[in-house]
Amino acid sequence: MFISAFTIPTCTYAQKKDQNVHSEPHQIPHLNKQGKTYQLIDDDKPFLILGGELGNSSFTSLEYMAPVWPKLRTMHLNTILAPVYWELIEPAEGKFDFELLDQLVKEARNNDLKIVFIWFGSWKNSMSSHAPSWVKKNQARFPRIKDDKGISHEILTPFSENNLQADMKAYQELLRHIKITDGNDHTVIMIQTENEIGMLPTARDFSSPANERFRENVPAELIQYLERNKETLVPEFSEIWGKTGFKNSGTWEEIFGTGLQTDEIFMAWYFSKYTNSVAGAGKAIYPLPMYVNAALNRPLVKPGSYPSGGPLPHLMDIWKAGGTSIDFLSPDFYSPDLKHWCDLYTRQGNPLFIPEHRFDSTVAAKAAYSIGHYESIGFSPFSVESSGNPENEPLGKMYKILGQMTPIITAHQGQHKIEGVLLDKQNQETVLKMGNYEFTVRHSYTLGYEKDSGKDTWNMTGAIFVQTGDDEFYIAGSGIVVTFRNLVNPSLNVGILKDEEGRFENYNEWKVIRYMNGDQTHQGRHIRIFSDDYSIQRFELYNYD
C-alpha cells in the first residue's frame, strides 16, 4: 500500500526526470542555504553525500578499481571521494594527461556514483609527495620549507610564487577538463583542494622567504577581517589576540605574542592564502563547491608535532579571512570525539561535511547522527573499499535507509525539524525536543533483550528523526527505543496513534511493510528498532488526559 506521506514543494523525481527531457541543463553543483543549513544542490535537488573515501592509491588504475565498484554499490554509496594526483595528470610541465581520469569517471558514472575529487597538489598530509617529478627535482625553482635547523623537507613552501603558479595552472587545467567532459553530467560534484595541509616538523617554515615575511607587519587584509569580526571570533583565537590588547598594527609577534601559537597563526594565513588562490583559479574556470580538510590536533600536542596551521577550529578565523574562495573547512576523524569536533566545526555557520572517518564499527551510527544532529552535507569513511564483507556492512545498511530518507530529510533541513542521536554504553540516553514533544531516546540494549546487552562495551547506535507534521514523525536508524512527553501541556499523556515500518519508493512514496503494534511497540508504550535492524518507521502521536 502506498501513502503519500509528505510532499516536497517542487515535484516528484519521476516528474523531474520527465521534465528534463525538454528542460534547460541542470545548474552546476552548488551550495544553497535553506534556513540555517547549507545544502549541496546537484542536478537542481539537494543531495546528501553517502560517501566513502578510497584508499590513496586505489583510484589509479581501472584494473585495481574493477572489483571495487560492486562493493561500493552493495554498500549503497552514492559518492566516492577520490584523489587526483598532480604527478599523474601533468607528468611533464604543461603536458596534461587525463586519459586515466576520464576512464575512471566514466566507470563511476556507469556505477551511478558521484565523485568528490581530492586534489593531491602541493600538499598531501603536509608532504608534497604528489608533486610531479619536474617539480620535485627542481628545488631551485620550486623551493621547499626549512625547519628550525635549516634542514629542508619534502614540503613545498607556501612562500614561493613559482610553487603557487605551478599548482594553480595544474588545478585550472583539471577544472577546465572537468567542465568540458562533465559539465552536463555532473558526476563530479565537489572538490577538496589539497589534503590535510600543515607544517611539519616545526610550527613554522624557517626558509629565507618565510623568515622575511615573518619579520613583516601582519597584512592589513587580515587585520581588517579580524577587526570587522571581533565580536564573533572563536574564543581560542580571541584569547590569544586579547593578550596584546587586540593590537591592530605590527609584526606577527607584536600582535599575537612570541611563541608557537604565533608561528602557527602565521602559517595558517599563508597556507590559506595559497590554497585560496588555487581554489579561486579553479572556480574561475568551473565554480564547483570547494573545501579543505584538516588532520585534527590532539590535546597537549604542540603545533609542528601535529600539522601546524591547517584548517583547524582554533584557526578558523584565519582560514575564513584568507580563504574567501573556500566554501568550508572539514574535520578528518581518526580520534574518537565526534561531537566535540563537530561542535567546533559548525561555529560561524561553517557547513559540516565529514570527508574522512576511520572505517570502524561506529561509522553507520555516526553517519546518521551527523546528518541528523548537525544537518551535515554528508559523511565518508576512509578506505571504504577495504570492506571484506560489503553485504553485511552496517554502513551499507544505514546508507540504504538514509538514501531513501534523503528527500524527506532535505525538504525539512534548516527548520529545527531534524535531529539525530548517537548512543553507546557511556551515553545510553539522549533527550530531544521535537516540536511540542520531548523524545527520550535510549540505546536498545537498555531493554536488556538483545544478546550483547550484558557486555562491557555496546555497539554504537544512531538514528535520525524528521518531523513532518505537528504529530507526525519519521525515524531511520538502528538500536534505539523512544518514549514521549508533551512539552506544552505536561499533564497530558502521549500515546502512539499509528506506527508503520516501511520504505520510500519512487523518490517520496511511502510504502508500508508492517503495521507496528503489540510487542513491537510494547503495546503502545514506545517506538523501537533493535540494534541488528536498520529500518525506517513513520509514527503519529496523540494526547490523552
Q: Which is nearer to ligand DGJ, 41 or 338 (CB)?
A: 338
Termini Cα distance of the chain: 33
Calpha distance 440→433 (Å, rounded):
9
Applying the rule CB under 6 A, the residues between 316 and 355 that interact with ligand DGJ are: 332
Cell numbers placing 104: 575512471
Compute CA 541 distance to the chain's CA centroid, rounded to the nearest angstrom. Answer: 34
Cell numbers placing 154: 619534502
Helix/strand/coil (H, E, C) string of 252-288?
HHHHHCCCHHHHHHHHHHHHHHHHHHHHHHHHHHCCC
Q: Which is nearer to ligand DGJ, 154 or 161 (CB)?
A: 154
Q: Position of cell 549503497?
A: 76
Nearest residue by C-beta to ligand DGJ? 196
Helix (H) or strand (E) run with residue 491 in it = none
Q: In angstroms, what is the minimal distance from the CB of 298 to ligand DGJ?
A: 14
Q: Which is nearer to ligand DGJ, 125 or 453 (CB)?
A: 125
Q: In angstroms, what is the minimal distance from the CB of 87 to ligand DGJ?
A: 15
Question: Could you say which DSSP state residue 249 is in?
Answer: S
Binding mask 265-284 for ligand DGJ (x = CB under 6 A): --------------------
Q: Name residues whose C-beta falls within 8 Å of residue 283's C-beta, 6 or more positions apart in sequence.
A: 175, 290, 325
Q: Does 194 bind ligand DGJ (CB under 6 A)?
A: no
Binding mask 109-148 for ligand DGJ (x = CB under 6 A): ----------------x-----------------------
Q: Which is nearer to ligand DGJ, 88 or 234 (CB)?
A: 88
Question: Among candidates 519, 507, 521, 518, which has minimal Cα distance to 475?
Answer: 521
Q: Which is nearer to ligand DGJ, 53 or 205 (CB)?
A: 53
Q: Which is nearer to ligand DGJ, 317 or 356 (CB)?
A: 356
Q: Which is nearer to ligand DGJ, 125 or 248 (CB)?
A: 125
Calpha distance 118→99 (Å, rounded):
17
How large is the C-alpha radius of gyration of the chain? 25
Q: Does 78 bind ligand DGJ (CB under 6 A)?
A: no
Q: In angstroms, what is the minimal distance from the CB of 112 to ligand DGJ?
A: 25
| Strand partners for 120 | 85
Q: Strand (E) positions, 384-460?
A: 418-423, 429-434, 437-443
CB 311 within 8 A of CB 273: no
- Binding residue for ligand DGJ, selected from 37, 39, 56, 79, defined by CB under 6 A: 56
Cell numbers placing 340: 566535540
Q: In angstroms, what is the minimal distance from the CB of 53 to ligand DGJ?
A: 7
Concatenated DSSP letters for 12-30?
A: -HHHHHHHHTTSPPPPPPE
Q: In angstroms, what is the minimal distance from the CB of 201 to ligand DGJ?
A: 17
Omega of the bond leading into 201 within 30 degrees of 0 (cis): yes
CB 48 within 8 A of CB 41: no
Binding mask 208-247 for ligand DGJ (x = CB under 6 A): ----------------------------------------
Q: Does 85 bind ligand DGJ (CB under 6 A)?
A: no
Q: In angstroms, what is the minimal distance from the CB of 116 to ligand DGJ?
A: 13
CB 412 within 8 A of CB 465: no
Q: Does 356 bind ligand DGJ (CB under 6 A)?
A: yes
Q: Which is nearer to ligand DGJ, 83 or 420 (CB)?
A: 83
Q: Does 196 bind ligand DGJ (CB under 6 A)?
A: yes
Tell me the three state secondary structure of residue 386: helix
Applying the rule CB under 6 A, the residues between 364 and 393 that interact with ligand DGJ are: 382
- Binding residue for ligand DGJ, selected from 58, 195, 478, 535, defined by CB under 6 A: 195
Q: Which is nearer to ligand DGJ, 356 or 500 (CB)?
A: 356
Cα-based distances in Å from 428 to 338, 431, 440: 16, 11, 10
Q: In angstroms, what is the minimal distance from the CB of 195 to ligand DGJ?
A: 5
Q: Which is nearer to ligand DGJ, 147 or 356 (CB)?
A: 356
Q: Which residues bind ligand DGJ (CB under 6 A)?
A: 56, 125, 195-196, 332, 356, 382
